[in-house]
Each structure stands twice: as C-alpha cells, then as structure tokens.
Amino acid sequence: MEFKFIGKLFRGDKVIWCIFIALCIISLLEVFSASSTIVYRQQNQFAPIFRHAVFLLFGFGLVVFLQRIPSRFFSILLLGIPVSAILIILTYFFGEDINGAQRWLGIGAITIQPSELAKISAIGFIAFFLSKMKTDNEGWIFWTMIISISILCALIVPDNLSTAILLFVVCFLLMFIGQVDLKRLAKVGLGVVILGLIAYGGLVLLPADVVKKYLPERAETWKNRIERHDEKISIKEVDENGNMLYKITDENRQVSHAKIAIADNKIIGLPGSGTQRDFLPQAYSDFIFAIILEEMGLLGGLFVLLLYLSLMIRCGVLASKCEKKFPRYLILGSALIITIQALANMAVAVNLIPVTGQPLPLVSRGGTSTIITCAYFGIILACSSRLNEPEHEHEEHVDESIANVEKEGQQINEQQ
C-alpha cells in the first residue's frame, strides 16, 4: 500500500522528480545559511527559513496537483498573456519599489511579481501556437508570436531588462526548435541584435548626466553595472608605501564579496561554514551561487550546475518521445527558461556578465519565482506522465489478448 501511495504521489518522470527534490534540499540548506542578514534585522533565527519552507511546501503541492492535469488543459496559459500585461502596467502605478526597481505588486497581504507570470504564460503561448503551425498558416502564426512576445517584453524592459531579454531569448529558441522558417527568424534576430547594439552603445557612450536626464530611471543603473563590469581593475587606494589596496565601496560591494566567497571555496565544503553571507547583499537570492561555492566547495557548485544541465538533457529526451507537439514544446520551453536563468545567475556570481538580478531557480529565496518554478516542474511532470501511461496500458491490453488467445488455443487442442 505504501509503495502504491508513493507511486501515485510521484507520478511522471522519476529523474525530473529527483532533480526537483535535490534542488529543494539544497535550497533549504543554503537559504537557511545565507539569510543571516535577515535574521539580524528580524531578530528571529527561524523566521526567514520558515517563510521559504512554506513557499517550497506550497510549490511541492502545486507540482503534485499539476502533474495530474492532462497537458491539453495548459492551453489556459494563453489567458495569462493579457492578464500579466495588465498587471505589469498596474505595477508601474501601484507597485512596490524594492532595491531601486518597481517589479512587485501588492494585492492585500500578498506581493506578486507579474513578470514571473508573464514568463510562464509566454511559454504556454508559444507552445500552443507552434503546435498549431502548418505550412499554410506559418506566416500569420509567426507574426502573432513575435508581436505578442515583443509587446510583453517591451512592457517588462523599463524595470526588469534582464527578464525581458531572458524571455525573448527563450521564446526565440523555442521557435527555432519548432522549425519556424529560418529566414523569418534570421530577420527578426538581426533586427534585435542591431537594436541591442545601439542601446548598448548609447548607454556606454552617452555622458552620465544625459542618461540620467533623458533616459528611463533604470538606464542609469544599467550604465553603472556595465561600466563596473567592464573595469579591468576595481577601485583601489594607495597606501603610504605606494602599494595598491583594494577598496570595497557601495558600488562594487556585491561583486567584491562574491569574488571573496568564491576565492574561499575548497574542493569539498560544508553548508553553514561560509563567512561572506554576513557581508554579501542578496546572499540568499541573486548571489546564492557564490555562497554555494564558498560553503559546498567546488564539487558542490559543479553538482548544482549538473542538476540544471541534467534537467535540460532529460527534458530533451522526454520531448523527443512526445508524439503531440503541444506537450513537447511545453517540456522544452519550461526546461529552457529554468536552465538559461540558472546559467545567467551563475555567470553573474562568478562575474562573467554584469549583475542582472535573476534568482537561481528553486534555490534562491523567493516567493513568486519559487512558485512559478515549481509550476514549470509540474508542467514537465504532467506531460511526462501522460507520455508513459498510454504505452503501458496498451502493452497490458496486448499481453492480456495474447494470453487469452493462447488459452483458447490450448482448449481447442484438448477438445480435439
């Protein structure tokens, strides 16, 4: 009975379940360790991890619920496009400003991040239209997808540039995988690259006072992040002997302490053994991978990286077995957005790219992002469970039919 209950509870692909549970365990360990600054402010050791555990528990329940839903019902995500667009617009007027960005919308006692809803809605939107695409309707479907996603990303850009870029890249890759005409994709891709280079050049070349006066408020933040990342040598001071001293300021504090955390890592570490969690801003969120490297060591960091890469590879295998297009693209889209966001977060932590503000999926402390990431896993598991069941049921019916025929044959021979 216990094994049957476990089998019913953990439906779908077991490899995906193992990856999900492993990430949840790592998240609980590292968020508990990295939340020391919140503990100090709240004077409560267990309040931060309790909040995070509640979100993970709710997310687990969501995964269990979603895995039982037939994949065709996920087409309801189409409604999320206009809903998330409206919520994003409302955020500009009534949103909460946190860390210089107005990305959160308070609804009573609940605070949500509309851009996270936009991401999962866009994945469902693209998957649905790709599943309906044929030779005679490819043109209007392509432009419907491109225009809709472009408008959604344009709404996200002013306060969350990295999320807009991430979303557009994932949707573009999904269209490429969906075998959209390469000429159309190339034209759009070239236009986006040219627009991006113009924007980047404007931020780098324009004087700071011009950027602050004439461009959106967040443009100054983008410019500062690009300049700090491009600096070959960080801000320094010279001591009385003429030696160059490294100076940590408010501008380079995050990157500096992340570098120190990574430099302190060993081959094998122990959760809770780090020190930079007390100094690194957003140690429990945007820079949690630096804390993972410091505390769990190089092998621990590689293990986390391999979990995300294994998710992408496994989802690719599952998608290749899908006969229906809609669940196939849902699996691939969900895996792509989790994996690419994880790689972006890790790249920021090791200072390969400028700071983006993207959390490490399912590992970083969060509310909306944690729930939505769990929803991605639920969608993947739902599609994988429907992938296997019909095959097993068909095999069982075939085996029963063969057995019945053999019995009838034996009876006829005995009578003769």
- Looking up tokens 């690009």 gives 226
**What phi and psi, each to the nearest 5 degrees, are found at residue 388?**
-90, -35
- Residue type at 362? L
pLDDT tens digits, residue range 38-47? 777 777 778 7
What distance in Å separates the CA atoms of residue 312 and residue 310, rounded to the nearest whole number? 5
Looking at residue 186, what is its pLDDT?
A: 93
- Distance of alpha carbon 220 from its chain centroid, rounded? 26
pTM to 2 decimals? 0.85
Per-position DSSP letters for 131-199, written without gaps between them: HH--TTTHHHHHHHHHHHHHHHHHHHTTT-HHHHHHHHHHHHHHHHHTT--HHHHHHHHHHHHHHHHHH
Higher pLDDT pick, 27 / 233:
27
What's the sign of the alpha-carbon dihedral 212, 215, 218, 224? negative
183 token code pair: 């000429």
pLDDT tens digits, residue range 153-167? 999 988 788 899 999
The stretch 209-223 carries a mean pLDDT of 68
Looking at residue 338, what is its pLDDT?
A: 96
Q: Indicate the SS3 state at residue 101.
A: strand
Looking at residue 397, what is its pLDDT?
A: 44
Q: What is the DSSP letter of 77?
A: G
Of 216, 187, 191, 361, nearest in space to 289 by CA: 361
Looking at residue 161, what is its pLDDT?
A: 85
Looking at residue 395, what is its pLDDT?
A: 39
pLDDT tens digits, residue range 74-118? 999 999 999 999 999 988 887 776 665 667 777 666 778 888 999
Q: pLDDT band at residue 6, thresholds of 50, 70 and 90? A: low
337 token code pair: 């957005």
Q: Is the pLDDT of residue 405 over 70?
A: no
Q: Is the pLDDT of residue 406 over 60?
A: no
The stretch 337-345 carries a mean pLDDT of 94
What distance in Å separates the CA atoms of residue 260 and residue 346, rounded to the nearest whole number? 15
